A and B are shown apart, each in its own frame.
Chain A
Amino acid sequence: MTNQEVLDHIRTKFADSILEFDEPYGMLTLIINRDALLPLVEFIKSDELLQCTFMTDLCGMHHPEQKGRELGMVYMFHGWVKNIRIRIKCFMAMEDPHIDSLCNIFKAANWMERETYDFYGIKFKGHPDLRRILNMDEMDYHPMLKQYKLEDGTRTDKDDRFFGRDGNSNVEFDQRYIK
């Protein structure tokens, strides 16, 4: 099935939920409302034609320049029978970071959603055990957000000046995201 056929088939049921669609480098990408996520995923899993029974991956994104749609979720599914790959994206505002959990549909989503919560602070409604997984439990911020630095500010043995990261000078490579 070509991407156009897949898109038309999904549109028969979810025409108003799809905000945008695109085909970057050959993978069909849909941007949808976050309320439509659960029904759409159940549809592509159980549908006879698509049979996307495998969840490849899910991850979070942070676009600080898109006001009102800063946090994003990216899901990738794969239907092995017809070799169909679909990417689904949902955006949400920084002040309101919650989305439905896919744990009841795909058990693989469990730890991946915990990782996204750990990194971005997105809360998943209906997740059985939402807590930090990779970072220390005592950590009080979500490190992958763009405003946080990569390095540990308290380390004493490395001199930031030699890495071009002096807070006083103008030479900073990633000025775009430092608030």
Chain B
Amino acid sequence: MVKVANAPDGFEGPGFFATGVDKIIGLARANSLWPLPFATSCCGIEFMATMGSNYDLARFGMERMSFSPRQADVLLVAGTIAKKLGPVLKQVYDQMAEPRWVIAIGACASSGGIFDTYSVLQGIDKVIPVDIYVPGCPPRPEQIIDGIIKLQELVKNESGNRRNSPEYKALKDSYQIS
């Protein structure tokens, strides 16, 4: 029994299929995201295990890890971010081109985790806007994959005009991102 994924809503005829531009582009983007692994600590090792052959991330289109922000779509922040690293993270995020998404992997990236101290940033959403939070300390590879699948749903259903909308501009202004 082969399970076929659903096509987006559209109008179909012999030899053609008409649907919205958003849907096609969303489908293409969702299945070929290029991640930037910003791996800091223990969650980075679980991320490496997710990339490995047992929990293969390549099946979701993430075969090629981009370490250059200019060529990346998703910023995967895995691990604790200290206050010293905050400006670096912001600079990496600024260098990414639209459309860009952020996944915060692990408790430390989501909210500071067990490190409620003077030197740790209590969650990366203090410096950059985050789309998906994956809790866990560290999250199992299955949980990281769950986060990525949720991101794929987000990407598939994103409207084409979102990045130009006033709400998005307000979000960027609240983080002082130009």
The answer to whether A and B touch directly, with their CB atoms under 8 angstroms apart, is yes
Q: Interface on A for B, CB 8 Å cutoff?
A: 134-136, 143, 148-152, 155, 157-158, 163
Q: CB-nearest residue of chain A relative to B120?
A: A152
| Chain A residues, Cβ within 8 Å of B116 | 150-152, 155, 158, 163
Asked whether A152 and B84 contact (CB < 8 A) given A157-B111, A158-B116, the answer is no
Q: CB-nearest residue of chain A relative to B82?
A: A136
The 9 closest A-B pairs by CB, nearest first: A152-B118, A136-B84, A155-B122, A151-B116, A150-B117, A157-B122, A143-B118, A135-B119, A136-B83
Q: Once the chains bind, are B117 and A151 in contact (CB under 8 Å)?
A: yes
Q: Chain B CB within 10 Å — which of A134, A148, A155, A158 has the most?
A: A155
Closest Cβ–Cβ distance, residue A5 to chain B (whole Å): 44
Closest Cβ–Cβ distance, residue B111 to chain A (whole Å): 7
| Interface residue? B106 (CB, 8 A) | no
Give the CA-CA distance A143 to B118 in the complex, in Å: 9
| Chain B residues, Cβ within 8 Å of A136 | 83-84, 119
| Interface residue? B135 (CB, 8 A) | no
| Chain A residues, Cβ within 8 Å of B117 | 150-152
| Chain B residues, Cβ within 8 Å of A158 | 116, 122
Closest Cβ–Cβ distance, residue B129 to chain A (whole Å): 16
Q: How many residues of B contact A (CB 8 A)?
A: 10
| Interface residue? B123 (CB, 8 A) | yes
Q: CB-nearest residue of chain B relative to A165?
A: B116
Q: CB-nearest residue of chain A relative to B118?
A: A152
| Chain A residues, Cβ within 8 Å of B84 | 135-136
25 pairs, A vs B, C-beta closer than 8 Å: A134-B119, A135-B84, A136-B83, A136-B84, A136-B119, A143-B119, A148-B118, A149-B118, A150-B116, A150-B117, A150-B118, A151-B116, A151-B117, A151-B118, A152-B116, A152-B117, A152-B118, A152-B122, A155-B112, A155-B116, A155-B122, A157-B111, A157-B122, A157-B123, A163-B116
Q: CB-nearest residue of chain A relative to B86?
A: A136
| Chain B residues, Cβ within 8 Å of A157 | 111, 122-123
Closest Cβ–Cβ distance, residue A59 to chain B (whole Å): 18
Give the CA-CA distance A125 to B9 in the complex, in Å: 74
Q: CB-nearest residue of chain A relative to B84?
A: A136
Closest Cβ–Cβ distance, residue B54 to chain A (whole Å): 35
When each residue 82-97 of chain B gets 1 if its CB lies under 8 Å from chain A and 0 otherwise, what string results? 0110000000000000
Closest Cβ–Cβ distance, residue B150 to chain A (whole Å): 23
Give the CA-CA distance A134 to B119 in the complex, in Å: 9
Q: CB-nearest residue of chain B relative to A153?
A: B118
Other 17 A-B pairs with CB < 8 A, given A135-B84, A152-B122, A157-B123: A134-B119, A135-B119, A136-B83, A136-B119, A143-B119, A148-B118, A149-B118, A150-B116, A151-B116, A151-B117, A152-B116, A152-B118, A155-B122, A157-B111, A158-B116, A158-B122, A163-B116
Give the CA-CA distance A127 to B123 in the complex, in Å: 37
Give the CA-CA distance A134 to B116 in the complex, in Å: 17
Give the residues from 118 to 134 in chain B that come closer than 8 angstroms, CB to CB, to chain A: 118-119, 122-123
